[in-house]
Amino acid sequence: MSRIAELFARKNPVFIGFAVAGDPDGETSLRVAKTMIDAGVDLLEVAVPYADPVADGPMIERAHVRALEAGTTPDAVFALVRQVREYAPDLPIVLFTYYNIIYRRGADRFFADAAAAGADGVLIVDLPVEESDEAAPAARRHGIDRIALIAPTTSPERRRAILRDASGFVYLISLEGVTGERDRLSPDIAGLVGAVREGTALPLAVGFGISSPEHVRAVVAAGADGVIVGSALVRLVEERLGDEAGMHDALRTAIGAMLRVLVPEREPDIPGRESIEG
């Protein structure tokens, strides 16, 4: 059983944290990943920095820019994944990437490198099912789950085609728009979760716009198997670029608050508290 399947079989709902590899630089980024893991993130989504991230809002785009300015190449991302894998042998890791990074490297080589580094899945944000003839078999060859995206605007016919091709888990986009924090969530997440549930046995995780414990509660109440938080964590990195200790504290606190909503009984395990208590 893959690490992703094993996680969802063991735990429900799961908490998925997102970070841009190399934001704000390689070493800090590794420490950020470790803090997120220590704070209780169940699955880590690691973005490969890209200069033209059209699906992302300004917050995550700025993280891409910081990472690129720090010289974060795809090779550096794989090195980071390798280090995270050593730190957390059982943690599922999903790479979040734009397709030209894969196309340029060659799909076979990209997925081979991803597998060798210890990644479990790859989510290609600008590769719809119609264009995945090359990436899909390469991912399969190297045992990498290709995480499918479904949006509120995806028609039932497209949903079927996407789900035929999906593995690992399915990423449901909560709203029409780009990544980024929102005051309010889309009202019909339950409808989306229900509709997709009919077409697949894969776990369903909801992302885009989820930025507070209240949002997390709403997504879980909507029946999702996992919740993905990105911009809200990236913001904590951005706001504390000159204060790394503060950055880690803020991440621990924010993740802890969202985890408490997710699974209240897990509260004693929140590592953020250990540093205070012990």
Instruction: List active site positions.
Output: 45, 56
Pick from 155, 242, 264, 278 the residue near another protein by CB under 8 A: 155
- The stretch near another protein (CB under 8 A) out of 12-20, 144-152, 211-219, 249-257 is 144-152
Read off the amino acid at residue 162: I
Half-sphere exposure of 18 (CA within 13 A, CB side): 30
Compute the least distance from the CB of residue 69 to another protein, in Å.
12
Strand order in the sheet with 93-97: 145-146, 121-124, 93-97, 43-47, 14-20, 226-229, 204-207, 170-173, 148-150
CB neighbourhood size of 52 (10 A): 10
List 61, 113, 120, 145, residue binding another protein (CB under 8 A): 61
Residue type, 27: E
- Using CB under 8 A, pick the residue from 11, 34, 177, 238 that binds another protein: 177
Verify binding: residue 173, another protein, rule CB under 8 A.
yes
Among 22, 74, 121, 203, binds another protein (CB under 8 A): 74
If one asks whether residue 222 binds another protein (CB under 8 A), the answer comes out as no
- Centre a 10 Å sphere on the Cβ of residue 77 and count the other Cβ atoms it contains: 27
Q: Select 95 or 270, whichever has its Cβ closest to another protein.
A: 95
d(CA 84, CA 119): 10
- Minimum distance from residue 241 beta carbon to another protein (Å): 17
Stretch that binds another protein, among 27-35, 88-96, 119-127, 238-246 (CB under 8 A): 119-127
